[in-house]
Amino acid sequence: MKLSFCTNVYPLDKIPEACLMLKELGYDGVELWHQYVVSKPIEQVKAETVGIGLEITQLCPYFNVTGTTEQLEESYAIARGYIGYAKELDCKLIRVFTGGVSAADATEEQFRQGVLGLRTICDMAPHLTFVLEMHHGSLMETVEGTLKLLDAVGRDNLRLNLQVPLPDATKDVYQCAAELGKYTVHLHAHNWIGDPAAHDFVCLGEGCYDFPRFLSILREHGFDGAVSIEHANHLKGDNPDEVAAKEAVYLKNLFKELEA
């Protein structure tokens, strides 16, 4: 497994400095959001990340394959651009969203369009993996909906970025890991206290559920990707550097235990 960090917690002008700090802390790689990728020439993005020895664990654009015809075409254009960015940055994973309609609310036509849209994007670059970020308000907000979508699209290069809490996984994240582990290639790592819907995130070793057990189940079902720290502003003072340092120590020790 790899240790990764989501750079979206930093202002754009602070990301190069943050990447140097993350490299010093022992992170293997970082995720890059659209705003940073397009903020400067891609050669400069590469120099500030790959150039200092960090892997780009995932590129994170936004797509809408369940919206209007214009939004679908725009999603295809974004996908083509990110296929080029992935080549420049030697990145194998591109994050995918389906748009602003949930699995529960999607019409048959919206679901059908989403399936065809994802097939089209996957077929643009069979050598890359497109990664559905499981999220509220999308076609992959529940375990059942996600499995239905993967089956309907039917592409081996469409896989999952698992992140809990999900509406049907807040009480049993372990069952979620067991059902989705074989499809998961990237993990947005969260833990929380209280009501999961409140997103009162805490450090991984301090929340309501047993994160080592959760990660162990994922590994048993085939997961061997990047464990990425997202929403890294949950310590007092909103200090992502402090979160990065604390979680790096925790995860490196946990990786050693699980791999022993």
End-to-end CA gap in the chain: 13
On whether the CB atoms of residues 165 and 192 are closer than 8 A, the answer is yes
* DSSP 8-state code for residue 67: S
| Radius of gyration, alpha carbons of the chain | 18
- Residue 48 is predicted with a pLDDT of 98
So what's the pLDDT on residue 239?
87
H or E segment to which residue 10 belongs:
none
Between the CA atoms of 92, 260, 228 and 194, what dihedral angle is there, to the nearest 10 degrees? 150
pLDDT given for residue 49 in this prediction: 98
Cβ atoms < 10 Å from Cβ of 253: 12
Whether pTM exceeds 0.75: yes
Task: Note the pLDDT of residue 170.
Answer: 59
Q: What does the pLDDT profile of the chain (260 residues) look like in tens digits?
A: 999 999 999 999 999 999 999 999 999 999 999 999 999 999 999 999 999 999 999 999 999 999 999 999 999 999 999 999 999 999 999 999 999 999 999 999 999 999 999 999 999 999 999 999 998 899 999 999 999 999 999 999 999 999 988 777 656 899 999 999 999 999 999 998 887 777 788 999 999 899 999 999 999 999 999 999 998 877 666 789 999 999 999 999 999 999 87
Domains of the chain: 2-259 (3.20.20.150)
Distance CA 174, CA 15 (A): 34
Neighbour tally for 32: CB within 10 Å: 27
pLDDT of residue 169: 65
